[in-house]
Amino acid sequence: MYEKYLKTYFGYDRFRENQEDIIKAVMEGRDAFASMPTGGGKSLCYQLPGIMKEGLTVVVSPLIALMKDQVDEASARGIPAVFLNSSLESDETAEIYSRLYRNQIKLLYLSPERLAVEGYLDRLRELKVGFFAVDEAHCLSEWGHDFRPDYLVLSRLRENFPGVPIAAFTATATAKVQQDIVRILCLRNPLVVRASFNRRELSYHIRPKSEVLAQISSYIKDHPRDAGIVYRLSRKDVEKTVAHLRNRGIRALPYHAGMKGEERTLHQELFSNDEVQVIVATNAFGMGVNKSNIRFVIHGDLPKSMEAYYQETGRAGRDGLDSTCLLFYGSGDIVRQKYFIDRLEDPAEQRKSLDNLNRLVRLATVNVCRRRQILAHFGEEIEGNCGGCDVCNDTTEKAEATVDAQKILSAVIRTNEGFGITHIIDIVCGADTAKIRDNGHEDLKTYGVGKDKSKKWWRGIVDELIGQEMLYQDSERYNVLKLTDRGRKVLFGGERFFISDATASKEKGGGGVSLFPRTGSAEPADEGLLLQLKEARKALAREKRVPPYVIFSDKTLTEMARLKPETGTEMLEVSGVGEKKLEAYGEVFLPVIREFTQSH
């Protein structure tokens, strides 16, 4: 039933996982909650019902730039869509209302601020709303990473539109955030979809930070045709990074809260339109980014939380092509983060921020699959080699630490697996504590065997042993340490133990960086044709004043360059080309392909 609309408007032959279930629920008048990763096809889940349902579909969207991009994309597919926000002139707004009252619009994008205006919900009732879609719904929850109080006006939707289905969409939501969203929106028996957070097209790499500006520019110089984002912790770091990149011939622009709004908007538009290669930003940049062909995201500093890291790295590879997430980490990042955490007045907020910091330090330093650690935060498990991170692909710098591991494991065994991390480290370091004296542990053979190294070093070894599942903390016995079968193998010489370079550098200070080519990149069948298609897309985008990816994604152009369609029928075989886009753009791209094929 829905496949015809899918092909005509979106150019796809089949739905992705979960999409059809969500669409069916909405079409049947049921509420829905969908937690789907960036690039997972959320917008299709409300745009397609918006085409099919009677009445108007209202999409609540947080940022003006995001609204404009989504309206441009919907319009390019032949869907009548508009947005209402403060960027419009009064005559433009009047024209939009005129079209709305004449039932000429199917999708209306609104900001939560507009909904909060006194009397606006009454006005909305005049427009025969058939469906509400709440995008970036994690903004509703104080437990979300980007809570926005203005979103709470959405709690009034149910009482004002009791019979209208509401669907909430987010790219990141823990179980607690999900419960908040369902409660605040008063969703009734919603279809709950928690799609896999595993972005297989993203590869995760973490490297010790040394000369971070040189490290960042070195990677970008090695990928001159790729667009990317560089995240830095402070405005000052953003400006320094931009200056460094420009001095090396890299087209880069800054983006941070200290800039004027018009300047930020201009820089984002230039980046979206492929006029610059790199945007360097604080975490102020992101939620309004709809650019699908971002090939890399670099973090020059440790992000603030696992959710923020997932959200920020998720801006790469939205078109499904292989992309890189690169984080440079150093111990100075911990000092900077703790400086801000110590100044938080709310003790609960302090604890939450420290938990976030510890989780990210563990991600950066423990020699365990990066993807597995990220997904575990969202309650998802994967087994084996993920094939898409530096740990699993064996490109991390590692050091053998079998002997030190045996010292820790021996101390755990000799204390009958009855003590926690701090006490075990005190034993190995030869500390003089009341607890050691009371238990007679100064007489153990392992007492003081590691006094030549710091407690920070030994804590790193314990973290690695736990991360590599050689030790575990028994939560039912006050988190005492216990050995696993693998731990016993290491203790008795049956297996060697390696630590990450980030852990090793805690003791020796610093550490080099080994940069790498992105693995598994999807190469087009004919790069020459792909470049010509991109040039045609860029010219057409300028003419229509929309970002190039609104015309066609990189993934669609890559498939065109591989299949080389020369007729409209053949063009419809390309994923992402529907009847509406063929009608609008076929006469631009088909001649390019025919001419290239004839001349080659």
Cα–Cα distance, 204 to 371 (Å, whole number): 7
CATH number at residue 429: 1.10.10.10
Q: Are the beta carbons of 298 and 326 closer than 8 angstroms?
A: yes
Last residue of a domain, one of 141, 161, 194: 194
Q: Which of 428, 473, 432, 474 is nearest to 451 (CA)?
A: 428
Cα–Cα distance, 575 to 591 (Å, whole number): 19
Q: In this structure, are 122 and 32 located in the same domain?
A: yes
Cα–Cα distance, 531 to 551 (Å, whole number): 15
Report CA torsion sign: 210, 145, 173, 31.
Answer: negative
The count of residues in the chain is 600
Residue 143 is predicted with a pLDDT of 62
| Residue 509 included in any domain | no
- Phi, psi angles (nearest 5°) of residue 509: 80, 120
Cα–Cα distance, 552 to 544 (Å, whole number): 13
Q: In this structure, are 10 and 45 located in the same domain?
A: yes
Residue 524 is predicted with a pLDDT of 45
CATH number at residue 574: 1.10.150.80
Q: In this structure, are 364 and 419 located in the same domain?
A: no
CATH number at residue 115: 3.40.50.300
Last residue of a domain, one of 134, 166, 194: 194
Other Cβ atoms closer than 10 A to 237: 19
Q: In this structure, are 288 and 362 located in the same domain?
A: yes
Q: In this structure, are 356 and 237 located in the same domain?
A: yes
Q: Which of 21, 33, 226 is nearest to 132 (CA)?
A: 33
Other Cβ atoms closer than 10 A to 207: 26
| Residue 511 included in any domain | no
Q: Which of 449, 440, 357, 438 is nearest to 458 (CA)?
A: 449
Q: How many angstroms separate the Cα of 20 from the Cα of each of 1, 2, 14, 95, 193?
A: 10, 8, 9, 34, 11
Q: Are the beta carbons of 584 and 11 closer than 8 angstroms?
A: no
Cα–Cα distance, 407 to 445 (Å, whole number): 10
Last residue of a domain, one of 377, 392, 416: 377
pLDDT in tens, the chain (600 residues): 788 888 888 888 889 889 999 999 999 999 999 998 877 788 899 999 999 998 999 999 877 667 888 888 888 889 999 998 877 888 998 999 999 999 999 999 998 888 888 788 888 988 889 999 998 888 887 665 566 677 788 888 999 999 999 999 987 767 788 888 899 999 999 999 988 889 999 999 998 887 899 999 999 999 999 999 999 999 999 999 999 999 999 999 999 989 998 898 899 889 988 999 999 999 877 655 778 899 999 999 999 889 889 989 989 998 889 999 999 988 778 878 888 888 888 888 888 888 888 889 889 888 889 999 999 888 888 887 898 998 888 777 678 899 999 999 999 999 999 999 999 999 999 999 999 999 999 999 999 999 999 988 998 898 888 877 789 888 778 889 999 998 999 999 999 888 876 666 555 543 333 333 343 444 445 888 999 999 999 999 999 888 898 899 998 999 999 899 999 889 998 989 988 899 999 999 999 999 998 887
| Residue 520 included in any domain | no
Residue 372 is predicted with a pLDDT of 92
Q: In this structure, are 483 and 580 located in the same domain?
A: no
Q: In this structure, are 567 and 487 located in the same domain?
A: no
Predicted TM-score of the model (pTM): 0.69
Residue 510 is predicted with a pLDDT of 39
Structural domain count, the chain: 4
Q: In this structure, are 259 and 335 located in the same domain?
A: yes
Q: In this structure, are 187 and 136 located in the same domain?
A: yes
Q: How many angstroms separate the Cα of 8 from the Cα of each of 34, 79, 247, 263?
A: 24, 11, 47, 38
| Residue 220 included in any domain | yes
Residue 516 is predicted with a pLDDT of 39
Host domain of residue 476: 402-496
Q: Got the DSSP string for 134-162?
A: ESSGGGG-TTSTT--GGGGGGGGHHHHST
- Phi, psi angles (nearest 5°) of residue 209: -85, 125
| Residue 386 included in any domain | no
Other Cβ atoms closer than 10 A to 323: 27
Q: Which of 114, 112, 95 is nearest to 104 (CA)?
A: 95
Q: In this structure, are 220 and 271 located in the same domain?
A: yes
CA dihedral of residues 229, 235, 238, 239 (deg, nearest 10): 140
Residue 506 is predicted with a pLDDT of 53
Q: In this structure, are 352 and 468 located in the same domain?
A: no
Cα–Cα distance, 143 to 353 (Å, whole number): 12
